[in-house]
C-alpha cells in the first residue's frame, strides 16, 4: 500500500485498510474537480470566446456593427447613427 495512506488509515480507525484508500482517492478527486472548475472559470473570465464576448468592448461592438452593415442587415444611415451612439457612450465613460 502507498505510504501516504498510513495517516489516513489512522483517521478512519479500525476499518478496512481499503476504506482509507478510497477516502483518500475521493478527496483527491474532489480537490482536482474544484481546482479545475475554478481554473476554467478564471480562464473564461480573462479570455472569453465567441462573438458574445466581443460585444463587451467598443471595438467588438463596432466590428459587429460593420459586419451587419456589410451583410445588408442595416442601411448606411442606421450604421452611421449606431456608430455615433457607440462613440458617445465611450466619450461618457461607457455608461449606457
pLDDT digits (tens, 9 = 90+) for 1-21: 555 555 555 666 655 556 777
Burial of 79 (0-12, 13-18, 19+ CB in 10 A): middle
* Confidence tier at 79 by pLDDT (50, 70, 90): very high
Which one has a higher pLDDT value, 28 or 86? 28
Q: What is the pLDDT of residues 23-70, one digit of tens each?
A: 888 999 999 999 999 999 999 888 877 655 444 677 788 889 999 999
Who contacts 58 (Cβ-Cβ below 8 Å, separation ≥6)? Answer: 86, 89, 90, 94
Q: Can you tell me whether residue 96 is helix, strand or coil?
A: coil
Amino acid at each position: 500500500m502507498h505510504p501516504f495512506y498510513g495517516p489516513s488509515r489512522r483517521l478512519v480507525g479500525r476499518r478496512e485498510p481499503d476504506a482509507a484508500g478510497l477516502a483518500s482517492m475521493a478527496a483527491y478527486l474532489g480537490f482536482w474537480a474544484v481546482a479545475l472548475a475554478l481554473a476554467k472559470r478564471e480562464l473564461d473570465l480573462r479570455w472569453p470566446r465567441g462573438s458574445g464576448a466581443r460585444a463587451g468592448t467598443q471595438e467588438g461592438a463596432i466590428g459587429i456593427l460593420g459586419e451587419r452593415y456589410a451583410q445588408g442587415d442595416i442601411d448606411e444611415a442606421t450604421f452611421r447613427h449606431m456608430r455615433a451612439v457607440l462613440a458617445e457612450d465611450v466619450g461618457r465613460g461607457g455608461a449606457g
